[in-house]
Chain A
Amino acid sequence: ELKVEQNPLFLSMQEGKNYTIYCNYSTTSDRLYWYRQDPGKSLESLFVLLSNGAVKQEGRLMASLDTKARLSTLHITAAVHDLSATYFCAVTPWSWGKLQFGAGTQVVVTP
């Protein structure tokens, strides 16, 4: 069974500093997603990573994928308060398959 591990599970960030969230998965995956969830809200898609070496950036967030290591990272540059949320990675073994989610990383950004 496809297993997804995220760490850390909780990340207290200081504004202006850089941080990284890690996502490991256990078996070959077709693609990897990063989602953001605000409290009580739905899942907002941030990135979809398809291939080895894929890197995507949006604002202060950058995601990368290493399929050989079965590892994705979400890098936050110069954290700001409005990035406070829970971030999930999810993988699927095939194109329209179920998403297997990690446990989520709760991010709190403080001044």
Chain B
Amino acid sequence: EPEVTQTPSHQVTQMGQEVILRCVPISNHLYFYWYRQILGQKVEFLVSFYNNEISEKSEIFDDQFSVERPDGSNFTLKIRSTKLEDSAMYFCASSEMGQGQSSYNEQFFGPGTRLTVL
């Protein structure tokens, strides 16, 4: 069964360093998302991406964050200068783009990357 994959599974970095989190969405999906979950808290939306541009972003997604689809398969989240409060689990999700009200367009989540900023 197709699934969303993410690498690395765990990333440890020093405050102020740049990190790139990688995702491979399900191959026929067209909408991509990043969410994060601080330990023990709820899942928060960061950004959605469609047709090579940002579709929607949250207040969390400031100038320190960027997303890119560098080729036909990968979808990346870059944090330019990490802060302690960026420590969280980051989930990538993807959705197909079915037509019609009855299409589920369900978002399928990857296994996550645990980011630890020291």
Using CB atoms and an 8 Å cutoff, list the residues of chain A in contact with chain B. 31, 33, 35, 41-45, 48, 50, 88, 90, 95-104
CB <8 Å contact, B56 and A97: yes
CB <8 Å contact, B111 and A41: yes
User: Is B91 close to A, CB under 8 A?
Assistant: yes
Considering the chains assembled together, what is the distance between the CA atoms of A41 and B81 in angstroms? 26
CB <8 Å contact, B112 and A42: yes
Considering the chains assembled together, what is the distance between the CA atoms of A90 and B91 in angstroms? 15
Given contacts A45-B106, A97-B56, 18 further A-B contacts (CB under 8 A): A33-B106, A41-B111, A42-B91, A42-B109, A42-B110, A42-B111, A43-B91, A43-B109, A48-B106, A88-B42, A95-B105, A96-B97, A97-B48, A98-B33, A98-B45, A99-B35, A101-B44, A104-B42
CB <8 Å contact, B43 and A88: yes
Contact residue range for chain B? 20 to 34
Chain B residues, CB < 8 A from A50: 101-102, 104
Residues of B70-118 at the interface with A, using a CB-CB cut-off of 8 Å, are 91, 95, 97, 101-112
* CB nearest neighbor in A for B92: A42
Considering the chains assembled together, what is the distance between the CA atoms of A48 and B111 in angstroms? 20
Considering the chains assembled together, what is the distance between the CA atoms of A41 and B56 in angstroms? 26
Considering the chains assembled together, what is the distance between the CA atoms of A102 and B43 in angstroms? 8
Considering the chains assembled together, what is the distance between the CA atoms of A44 and B91 in angstroms? 12
